[in-house]
Structure 1
Amino acid sequence: MDLKEIQNLIKFVANSGVAEVKLEMDDVKITIRTTLEGNVTEATYVQQLPVQNALPQAVVPQQIAPVAAAPAETPAAENANYITIKSPMIGTFYRKPAPDKPMFVEVGKAIGKGDVLCVIEAMKLFNEIESEISGKIVKILVDDMSPVEFDQPLFLVDPS
């Protein structure tokens, strides 16, 4: 089961109004729990069950990992002096309050504490996400109308 299928399953469960769903397949076990009063997904657990030939699979990632790690270090070093604003919930990310309205923020815009940065729709509720810091938007990390996960980075802000 790939990540896209898991995300679709989470959306389906969130929209269905079911409190809990458990799914067990050959190599994956998934539990999704939602609270009905706050309409927020409470916990999602994905557990990869052990596979019989674990040794050959363990060798391949070790050979690939050093090659993949080198390029990832450069962006992390560049972003070290920026603050990341993350999603407080699972839902759909919107950069504007309505289709005919302007974007809440653009790259280069100065923001203050309490300014609305975006809206995240979860279970037909639109939640305004406000800035907890002052600074300047350096990068918007999510496309408009895209699904976001809990704790997913949304914006990079230069606090200086």
Structure 2
Amino acid sequence: MSFFRKREPPASGPGAEQVLPRAVACFITPAMTRRAADWLGNLGGCRPLGILSDDYDDVVWQCTAERADLLLLELDFSNGVEDKDVSSRCDIAVEVRRKLPDCRVYLICEDGHPEKLAALEKAVELKLIDGYCIGDLAAEQMRTWLSETAETISGRSAR
């Protein structure tokens, strides 16, 4: 018995359905990650996956193994939690993009930390991430990110 599901190659050729982006969610707790993946699945327009470990190496490895098109990473600004702050999450984004140059990366952070806005803006300006959301992530915003990702995939397959 295999614990790993067999991955089927994407459909290709005339009449093939539109390829949905592989959206990967990695939140602070495994429960929140599962909820995020379920929410993405219910939202539609992507093939969601949750990464239950938010360790740097685990996230990079799983994004690479799954050939992620979009990565959602949650930030944690709690005291003493440095490995989930803007710079550490940008480190993950850079490494994922080194392996998957077209993967779009977005950071999700809780409301109430205006002191982090400058770091988030700088990360976007330096193109370390594609964007961020402070507070609750609205379905419309996620659909926009999925649409932008789908355009990237379409451009890549047209080459």
TM-score range, shorter chain: under 0.3
Structure with higher strand content: 1
Normalising to structure 2: TM-score of the pair? Answer: 0.18
Normalising to structure 1: TM-score of the pair? Answer: 0.18
Structure with higher helix content: 2
